[in-house]
Amino acid sequence: MATVLDRPVRRGGLFRGQPAWFSTLFWMDMWERFSFYGMTAILYLYASAPVADGGFGLAPGSAAALFGTYMSLIFLAALPGGWLADRVLGTRRAVVLGGLGIAAGHAVLSLPVSWSLYVGLLFVIVGTGLLKPAMASLVTSPHRDDDRRREAAMSIFYMSIQLSALLAPVIVGVLAERVAWHLGFGAAAVGMTAGLIVYAFGARRFGDLGLRPAAPLPPDRRRVLGRRTGSALGVAGLLILMGTATGVMRIEHVLMASGLLLLVLPVGYILSLRRIPALTAEDRGRLSAYVVLLLGSSVFWLLYAQGGSVLAMFAKEHTDRVVLGWTVPVSWFQSAHPFFILVLAPLFATLWLRSGRRVDVPVKFAGALVCIGASWLLLAVAAGLAAGGELVSPWWLLTAFLLQVCGELALAPVGLSLAVKVAPAGYTNQYLGLFWLFAAVGAGLGGQLAQLAAGALALPAYFLLFGVLATAVGAVLAGCVGWLRSRVGDESTTPAI
């Protein structure tokens, strides 16, 4: 059986310098991103739409909190998903099962019944938790010991999948807003199914890469784990189904349960990683510095994850969306992120290769926080102009999205790449899960705080408060660059110019 090192490398084209199987991952993830961005474009709008219009009928604040909780649990699911890929399934099998879960979830969401929202979201969350850390592990596997090429590969991959993310809000948004909400969810299900078909046809290119777990559990423990996991998921699904069907389960219960998870899991998970026998003293020092960086990243995700809720509300209520007499759907603004990524990702990938160690991971994280802080400060000005009831130009919102994408490209692919570097052999997926855990903390807190924007705080004050917070955290990280470099192994040997 061929290994990853035996696979041919592409010499030209979009995937030059990458293994032949890179294109299969690209097409698979492109369709997964279609379903994800289609979902994020319409979830808040569907949840807050009146029942008479086919929506779910939540108040705007509750709908924003539901959106943030969904984003949080999507990230949070990467923890058990990464562990299962490392210890039980292997990355290849995790990708397939995750894709099946996502497709099934969107299919359930396409059903025009009240219980489909929570049950469908559960399937999507579980499936994404399996798929995302496994995909990141496969993409970075050829460049584990080459920092610059690994970061460049992640940036190229991050750029490539946005082709689908650009189209998803347009297609899914029109179907959902102008025809029927559940038809939009159905389109997302078709997209994920197409990704699975592409992956199945390209599976032979991988050889034995990711076919087996990196650190497999003994067979007896795997059987026990399978029984317990199946039972837990079955009970959770049944409770959600019964609760929504009878009206006993409300959004407040979901928010409370997810909030408790976000308080307990980060501490417990970090402690469990530090107790891994394979970790040396140097490994634990790297882990500590990585956690500091991830604490900063949680502030980034706190703001970023509100793009589909608070910023969608701003687009709907305070932005002039009329172009040549036609009103642009609110969901189309979600295409701004992938459009800017398509434009900027090649530039960022080139920048990282040319800058080398002069612009390393701590500097990139600090810059990302300053960028997203600046975007919210800009929105504070726009919200102030709209406070009198006037609609503001869409360029305010689009410029804010541009700044956020600059921050995303400096943080997300770089942070995932760093997880591969600092993880001990056999525990890559669990370290990738740690990255998404802190993203979950930020998104979850953002979902809870988003309720303030719907009533307790004036919108200009809301944007100003958290814009200042993100900028301040970025400044603190910038002040700790030297210490962070020495711990994560990025200490520069070349003086900065």
Question: Helices 219-246 & 116-140, crossing angle to 10 degrees?
Answer: 150
- Cα distance between residue 309 and residue 284, in whole Å: 38
For the domain spanning 15-488, the CATH number is 1.20.1250.20
Residue that has been written with the tokens 């993203």 in this structure: 439
Q: Which tokens in the block code for residue 431?
A: 């370290």
Residue that has been written with the tokens 């079955």 in this structure: 234
Provide the CA 471 distance to its chain's centre, in angstroms: 21
Tell me what pLDDT residue 429 has: 67
Tell me what pLDDT residue 464 has: 96
- Cα distance between residue 117 and residue 51, in whole Å: 13
- CB atoms < 10 A from the CB of 171, how many? 18
Q: Which tokens in the block code for residue 292?
A: 């500091």
Cβ atoms 207, 92 nearer than 8 A: no
- Cα distance between residue 115 and residue 120, in whole Å: 8
What are the φ/ψ torsions at residue 319 (nearest 5 degrees)? -110, 135
- Cα distance between residue 422 and residue 83, in whole Å: 16
Q: What's the Cα-to-Cα distance from 233 to each of 101, 159, 227, rounded to whole Å?
A: 12, 34, 10
pTM, 2 dp: 0.79
- CB atoms < 10 A from the CB of 291, how many? 15
Cβ atoms 196, 100 nearer than 8 A: yes
Bridge partners (DSSP) of residue 9 are 19
Tell me what pLDDT residue 384 has: 93
Collapsing DSSP states into helix, strand and coil, what is residue 489? coil
- Cα distance between residue 208 and residue 210, in whole Å: 6
Amino acid at 258: S
Bridge partners (DSSP) of residue 19 are 9
What ranges do the domains of the chain cover? Answer: 15-488
253 burial via Cβ count (<10 Å: 0-12, 13-18, 19+): exposed
- Cα distance between residue 377 and residue 372, in whole Å: 9
- CB atoms < 10 A from the CB of 178, how many? 11
Cβ atoms 64, 451 nearer than 8 A: yes
Question: Helices 481-488 & 394-422, crossing angle to 10 degrees?
Answer: 40
Q: Which tokens in the block code for residue 490?
A: 């990025």
Tell me what pLDDT residue 3 has: 44
Residuewise pLDDT in 10s, the chain (497 residues)? 344 444 445 444 556 666 777 778 877 888 888 888 888 899 999 998 998 888 888 888 888 888 888 888 888 887 788 778 877 888 888 888 999 999 999 999 999 887 888 889 989 998 988 888 788 777 766 655 555 666 666 666 666 677 778 888 999 999 999 888 999 889 888 888 888 888 888 777 776 666 677 667 777 777 777 777 777 777 766 776 676 666 666 666 666 666 677 777 777 888 888 887 777 788 788 888 888 999 999 999 999 989 989 999 999 999 999 988 888 999 999 999 888 988 887 788 788 777 766 667 888 899 999 999 999 999 999 999 998 888 999 999 999 999 999 999 889 878 877 887 787 777 776 787 788 788 888 888 888 888 887 777 889 999 999 999 999 999 999 888 888 877 776 544 333 32
Q: What's the Cα-to-Cα distance from 247 to each of 158, 243, 250, rounded to whole Å?
A: 41, 6, 7
Residue that has been written with the tokens 């410029």 in this structure: 399
Name the helix (H) or strand (E) containing 174: helix 162-174
Tell me what pLDDT residue 467 has: 96
Residues 6 or more apart whose CB falls under 8 angstroms from that of 214 comprise 86, 90, 425, 426, 427, 428, 429
Tell me what pLDDT residue 5 has: 41
